[in-house]
Amino acid sequence: MGATMSTANVIMQLANPAVGYGVTRSTVENGRLDTHPIKRARTTASYLAVAVFGNADDRRRYRKAVNRQHAQVRSTADSPVPYNAMRSDLQLWVAACLYFGWEDIYERVHGPLTGELRERFYQQGMVCGTTLQMPAEMWPADRDAFDVYWGEQVANIDISDEVRDFVLDIANFGYASEFVQRRFGPVKYRRTIGYLPPEFRDALRVDWSDEDQRWFDDYVARQARKERRKPLWLSQLSFKILLWDTRRRNRFGRPLM
């Protein structure tokens, strides 16, 4: 469930034009999603592991590493829109997408969040932004305020042809071997599109039928049943390993990204 959801989450983030062009036209070669997909997936998952399970020192170190990358991502004179990866409003949007995906997966597995649990769960999501350079006060004050923010941002999403080609190539395993693309690309694409809210499918200009939705619902139901049977420690194991690896890299002076 997590891998294709993460691809869908990337598409959501890139639906903000400034983020979309910033990623698509990034000159930071070793951090590009299309040329170093495994490394990018590791660093993103490590970021989430540090944000959720790490301590203040872990977050400070990872923030510093991310900043070195983000400082290089800036628009040029020929960019369609201005962008700067250090902008806190763009970091808020990325954090909001990460939280949206986090909540979406939780509710698909465990059911709707309500009342005090919903609010407590939401407040924990702030670390998705504060582990970057987003000031804590930028995070919408409560879960209802997040809905307002989300609606305002979604109303302004726009995916250009250039960004669309970039993300659909990723959704179809375009960075992998021809065999992998043929064998696994169509399924990965269908799952990825399924995780997108309707507004993002519309912005991406992709078809999605009732039959597609039934297929996707059945897939999610099977994955959720498997996840419910897992003990908590097993569900968290991959993140704990990534946190251990991040601390090991810090200890031996190896790059985090």
Q: How does pLDDT run across 110-147, given as a tens digit for each residue?
A: 999 999 999 999 999 999 999 988 999 999 999 999 99
Residue 55 pLDDT greater than 70, yes or no: yes
Alpha carbons 166 and 239: distance in angstroms, whole number: 28
Residue 59 pLDDT greater than 60, yes or no: yes
Q: Which range marks the domain in which residue 220 is found?
A: 2-251
Has residue 45 been placed in a domain?
Answer: yes
Length of the chain: 257
Mean pLDDT along residues 89-109: 95
Has residue 105 been placed in a domain?
Answer: yes
Nearest to 55 by CA among 127, 117, 125, 122: 127
**Total number of domains in the chain:** 1
Scan for tokens 């009342």, then name that residue: 115
Which tens digits make up the pLDDT trace of 182-235? 899 999 999 999 999 999 999 999 999 999 999 999 999 999 999 999 999 998
Has residue 33 been placed in a domain?
Answer: yes
Which pTM was predicted?
A: 0.91
Has residue 256 been placed in a domain?
Answer: no
Has residue 180 been placed in a domain?
Answer: yes
Alpha carbons 244 and 54: distance in angstroms, whole number: 10
Has residue 120 been placed in a domain?
Answer: yes
Has residue 257 been placed in a domain?
Answer: no
Q: What percent of the chain has pLDDT over 70?
A: 95
Alpha carbons 128 and 16: distance in angstroms, whole number: 17
Residue 36 pLDDT greater than 90, yes or no: no
The DSSP result for 151-214, as a single string, is HHHHTT----HHHHHHHHHHHTTTTS-HHHHHHHHHHHHHHHHHHS-HHHHHHHT----HHHHH
